[in-house]
Amino acid sequence: MIFVNFASSFIIQPIFSRQMLQKAKQLFNLNIDYKNRVVGFDMLRGVGILIVLYGHGRSKIPYFPEFNNFISVLGFWLMDLFFVQSGFLIGMILIKMYEREQTFNWKTSYNFWIRRWFRTLPNYYFVLFLTTILWAIFEHKFMFLKLKYIAYLVFFQSAITPTAPFLEESWTLCIEEWFYLLFPILLLVGNWLLVSLKLLPKNIKWNVFVSILILIFCPMALRFYAQSNKMFDWLDITRMTFFRLDIVGYGVLMAWINFYYKDVFSKNRFLFGCLSIISLTSYFILFYSKIIPNALIQTNSFYFTIIFIFSGFSAFSVTAYFSKLQLENSSIVTKTLTHISIISYSIYVFHLSVVMYTLDQLFPSKGERPLLENIGLFSVYVIVTLFFSTLVYKYFEHPMTELREKLKM
């Protein structure tokens, strides 16, 4: 009997524990190919999404008001950084497709749209369904029956009206999805004109460039007009789809430079590092001196325009600097940030409207919470988000992405 107890305590249980740990590790293992990753982008995206995660959960730890306010301003800029990175990566895909095929037709557009929509839409519709169910459970609001719900199905919820509390963070996805739709159409129109004038293929480069200029300057002009005429509050404009497409255009412009002038970023990396510091510092100074003091009134349209120029240019410079970052070895920090970077889309779509919303409904605030309760809720929020996002990426997002190859023409 003593031997059985000894074997159970020191042999069977440890083996069982090791097996459980191995199974748990395999459950969350993403089989990452670190050698083929853009390390700089993974670092930026990983750190950035953690800051966003903190920023949206800072209400649970209101003990550092000045730091939390800084995170709010930084988070405002981080969204622009994510848009620029997205524009760069998507721009490189489109330019390579265009140059490889020496034309841009409906087949090219279809293959691009299939590639992007199978990457982004499944997660979005999954979180839209979950959020609708949660609202029906906790607030008895039948979103399925509301006309506004149709807008969410076609990414029109923040196109002509300010973003609403329901699935509030989806304004960023609207910008992305409309960019995916509209930029290839600009290339199609330009390509059609070049074919009509018999100017292909030597003018592919300039068709892309003109399309980028349209993508950048039209939203800028629209935003300036709306702000000058006080059509919307300045904060609402920052989240309305057609006023913000230009920020993605900065990333596409970077892709254009990177493709046609290959050594610009590598040879001038130090310069872009300096420009990043100068422009980002200018952005923070302007935000704290001109934007925040006038937060409750209409901000001067001049400062409103300048803040977006600084934000876009600094995001451009930071992306250019980190795009050429090389590391000799992968440390535990870089591996962790790479993992977080890979699941960042799942983190973004689920952390606020699913995880945080559920916690707020299950543990409603009744005055000031004790310190340990706040820390506990914040910890649960972060841990559940990371675990849930990893599982969603591995067993839903990634498999759905793989399906796109079967539908390409």
Residues 6-31 have a mean pLDDT of 59
> Is the four-CA dihedral 181, 185, 187, 191 of positive or negative sign?
positive
Spatial neighbors of 388 by CB under 8 A, at least 6 apart, are 346, 350, 354, 355
Tokens of 178: 């409309």
Nearest to 112 by CA among 195, 180, 25: 180
User: How crowded is residue 259: how many other Cβ atoms within 10 Å of its Cβ?
Assistant: 17
Q: Could you identify the residue written with the tokens 């990753």?
A: 37
pLDDT, tens digit (0-9, with 9 covering 90-100), for 38-77: 888 999 999 999 999 999 998 888 788 888 888 888 988 9
Could you give the angle at the alpha carbon of 23 between the alpha carbons of 35 and 400, nearest 5°? 60
Answer yes or no: is pLDDT of 364 > 90: no
CA distance 216 to 313: 12
**Whole-number pLDDT of residue 238:** 84
Share of the chain above pLDDT 70, in %: 88
Alpha-carbon gap, residue 386 to 381, rounded angstroms? 9
Question: What is the residue-averaged pLDDT of the chain?
Answer: 85
pTM above 0.85, yes or no: yes
Let me know: does 88 contact 252? Beta carbons within 8 Å: yes
The pLDDT-based confidence of 11 (bands split at 50, 70, 90) is very low
Is pLDDT of 5 > 60? no
In degrees and rounded to multiples of 5, residue 266 shows phi and psi of -70, -40
Question: What integer is the mean pLDDT of 99-111?
Answer: 92
- Nearest-CA neighbor of 234 among 276, 293, 166? 293
Q: Give me the torsion for CA of 30, 31, 36, 38, rounded to 10°.
A: 20
Tens digits of residue pLDDT in 114-153: 999 999 999 999 999 999 899 888 876 666 667 778 889 9
End-to-end CA distance of the chain: 69
Rounded to an integer, what distance in angstroms lies between the CA atom of residue 319 and that of residue 88? 9
Give the residue-averaged pLDDT of 154-179.
Answer: 89
pLDDT value at 32 more than 60? yes
* Rounded mean pLDDT, 332-360: 92
CA distances (Å), 321 to each of 76, 191, 213, in order? 20, 32, 23
CB-based contact 130:152 (threshold 8 Å): no
Number of H helices, E strands in the chain: 19, 0
The tokens of 138 are what?
């906790």
Asked if the peptide bond before residue 399 counts as cis, ω within 30 degrees of 0, the response is no
Residues 6+ apart with CB under 8 A from 279: 310, 313, 314, 317
The predicted-structure confidence for 185-225, as pLDDT tens digits, reads as follows 999 999 999 888 887 777 899 999 999 999 999 998 998 88
Sequence-ordered strand ranges (E) for 145-285: none
**pLDDT-based confidence at residue 174 (cuts at 50, 70, 90):** very high
Instruction: State the residue for tokens 């310190």.
Output: 371
Give the per-residue pLDDT at 19: 67
**What confidence category does residue 3 fall into, taking pLDDT thresholds of 50, 70 and 90?**
very low
* Structure tokens that stand for 300 in this block: 């001067």
Q: Are 342 and 30 in contact (CB under 8 A)?
A: yes
pLDDT of residue 140: 67
User: What pLDDT does 172 receive?
Assistant: 93
Q: State pLDDT tens for residues 264-317.
A: 988 999 999 999 999 999 989 888 887 777 665 555 567 777 888 888 899 999
- Cα separation, 158 vs 152, in Å, equals 9
HSE, side-chain direction, 13 A CA sphere, residue 103:
8
Count CB-CB contacts under 10 A for residue 238: 22
| Confidence at residue 295, expressed as pLDDT on a 0 to 100 scale | 60
pLDDT at 10: 43
- Nearest-5° Cα angle at 398, 393 to 400: 120
